[in-house]
Structure 1
Amino acid sequence: MYHADPSHYSFTDYNNSQPAQGELSLLFSGEGRPVGGHYIGPAVHNYYLVHTVMSGLGTFEIDGVRYVCKRGDTFIIFPDELFTYRADEKEPWHYMWVAFKGHLSEQLLHTLGFSPSRPIVHGDDVRPLASLYRKIRGTLETTPFPELADLEASGLLRVLLKELGLLNAGSLPANHAQAVIPDIGRQIRQAVRWLSYQYAQPVSIEELSRSLGYHRTHLSKMFKHVTGLSPMQFLLKVRMERAKELLNGQKHLSIDQVASSVGYPDALYFSKQFRKTFGYSPSEYRLQARGR
């Protein structure tokens, strides 16, 4: 469905309402044209997310390496891996994506030659991949029987991954990596994962630091070195982005329910934080997002 979002010139995303549980499960697929400088992250997902760049430029960072991406590049976000991607300021990219999970996913991508240390492949002709992305979205949008939609969309996902595997038969150019960012330890990644998954619970940075064996000041310094944000800033970002998803979701949750779902027992305080972050209240965002 279309979502009104000031960070995108256009944005569509279709969910699989009844994804099968098993070896390969398609979750959602979409297409976006973000404004220049729009970025996601630093963050982690608990699923695989594939983006193919149809035009424009951007950067993708994972596993301590930043890649410059252009038309024809496909980049893959892996579960529990810290990532960031950003649209170019002057020539922002247009991309399509699909998300999936399942116990066969890791083995399948490894077989096709993909990993967090090798997350990108290039193809000169984007039309075959664009056609598959559109077919997946069309299936999720129009099929009146969710179980059949899942069956067809999952089959198209396998074809898409096969095409990416064929493209990945060669090797990446040596100069594809733009810059290597030092890795300062698994503890920071663990902290990022914990904050990303436990955002709805009462969070104590002091306790988190102690559990990782660091003083709070030292952990905060290392955390900001890796993510560009303090732990509390990162937590706020995770909570606010999740709040936007819930406000724009199919279930019409009340503001109190959204606040509670993202770790704020006080809905008034949540609303103040939301306005401070985005410049408008949760109710105003919901009206804007659903205006079309």
Structure 2
Amino acid sequence: MEQAQVLTFLNNKDRDLLLQFCGYSTTEPLHSFGPVVRPHYIIHFILNGKGIFQIREKTYHLETGQGFLIEPDELTFYQSDAQEPWEYLWIGFNGKMIPEFLKQIGLSSAHPIFHCDKKKELYWLVNDMLVHSKSNFSSDLRRTGLLYEFLSILALNPLESDQQVDSEYMYINQAIEYIKNNYWDGIHIYDIAKYLCIDRSYLYLLFHKYLKQSPQDYLATFRLTKASELLSTTTLSIESISNSCGYGDPATFSKAFKRWKSMSPSKYRKQKRASGTVLSN
């Protein structure tokens, strides 16, 4: 079950900046919200873990230190990762000055993703908002000041141009999709770079920047994960599984699998068979 702290305010006065709600959540694997349209501006910031955010038919793969903006009346969906579900905080706000503030920060529905290395500062600001929960003038001023400070941190943190970030995410998403569709076919990194029409070194840079691993490591992990699924759920031969996952040589596959799981494919299958998870074809 999701563990969350949430604070909501009903004050809807016409002001330059107004905090509507805020909160913090530790989510379960694959916890999701949406697709839904919201009436407020909302910023989520990821404290730990991974997940996806979808808006305007785009999917962004996000992790610790990244955040995303939701603008009013935009259909969005977000979901935590199955293996590393995220913890995040959020603030919901309105106000006459919001469009100008977000423009200065560089955020919009077209370019909703940002990076921030001040995780602790953002966490304690939201924590302070949660502490000052009383419905009185003093607490209201305090929360508004904290909201200004939250936005000022995003404005001060070096942000790349939104167009560049969007373009980079496009390459990452297209590369991942290409791997999913062609991993079985013995593809190499230069095939992915050629498909994207970018230099191989630039592809490496993007993967290290956003996924903290090389495209070669991502491709190998994807193939070996698929291989482990086939070992667990079928009685296909090791050679067939090797070929099905893009390894032309079973010996190369076995060596890579042993490095990954610290055991051979046949031993892995025996363990799964002993636990009753191997199925017949």
Q: TM-score, normalised by structure 2?
A: 0.57
Alignment equivalent of 2:34, drawn from 14, 34, 41: 41
Q: Across the two proteins, how many residue pairs are aligned to each other?
A: 170
AA partner of residue 24 (structure 1): L
Larger radius of gyration: 2
CA displacement, residues 225-248 of structure 1 (integer Å, 9 cap, x when unaligned):
xxxxxxxxxxxxxxxxxxxxxxxx
Give the superposition deviation at 1:128: 1.2
2:23 maps to which residue? 30
Give the superposition deviation at 1:72: 0.6
Give the superposition deviation at 1:19: 5.1
CA distance, structure 2, for counterparts of residue 166 and residue 21 of structure 1 = 27
Alignment equivalent of 1:154, drawn from 132, 144, 164: 144
AA partner of residue 42 (structure 1): P
CA distance, structure 1, for counterparts of residue 117 and residue 6 of structure 2 = 25
1:134 maps to which residue? 127
Q: Residues 35-114 of structure 1: matches in 2 within 5 Å?
A: 35-114=28-107
AA partner of residue 147 (structure 2): L
AA partner of residue 59 (structure 1): I
AA partner of residue 139 (structure 2): A
CA distance, structure 2, for counterparts of residue 48 and residue 12 of structure 1 = 19
Unaligned runs of 5+ in 2: 175-281
Asked if the contact 1:67–1:179 (Cα under 8 Å) also holds between the matched residues in 2, the reply is: yes
1:192 maps to which residue? none
Q: Percent same amino acid among aligned pairs?
A: 29
Unaligned runs of 5+ in 1: 1-5, 181-292
CA displacement, residues 170-220 of structure 1 (integer Å, 9 cap, x when unaligned):
23544334548xxxxxxxxxxxxxxxxxxxxxxxxxxxxxxxxxxxxxxxx
Asked if the contact 1:18–1:150 (Cα under 8 Å) also holds between the matched residues in 2, the reply is: no
Asked if the contact 2:8–2:20 (Cα under 8 Å) also holds between the matched residues in 1, the reply is: yes
AA partner of residue 44 (structure 1): V
Asked if the contact 2:24–2:88 (Cα under 8 Å) also holds between the matched residues in 1, the reply is: yes
1:170 maps to which residue? 160
CA displacement, residues 5-48 of structure 1 (integer Å, 9 cap, x when unaligned):
x3x0x111011254543121111110011111111111111110
AA partner of residue 96 (structure 1): L
Q: Residues 240-251 of structure 1: matches in 2 within 5 Å?
A: none
2:168 aligned counterpart, secondary structure? coil
Distance 1:81-1:179 versus aligned 2 partners, 3 A rule: farther
Asked if the contact 2:117–2:157 (Cα under 8 Å) also holds between the matched residues in 1, the reply is: no
Asked if the contact 2:45–2:66 (Cα under 8 Å) also holds between the matched residues in 1, the reply is: yes
AA partner of residue 155 (structure 1): G
1:67 aligned counterpart, secondary structure? strand
CA distance, structure 1, for counterparts of residue 158 and residue 57 of structure 2 = 21
CA distance, structure 2, for counterparts of residue 24 and residue 119 of structure 1 = 20
1:111 aligned counterpart, secondary structure? helix
Distance 1:106-1:168 versus aligned 2 partners, 3 A rule: farther
CA distance, structure 1, for counterparts of residue 132 and residue 160 of structure 2 = 32
Give the superposition deviation at 1:87: 0.4
CA distance, structure 1, for counterparts of residue 130 and residue 123 of structure 2 = 11
AA partner of residue 136 (structure 2): P
Give the root-mean-square deviation of aligned CA atoms. Answer: 1.8
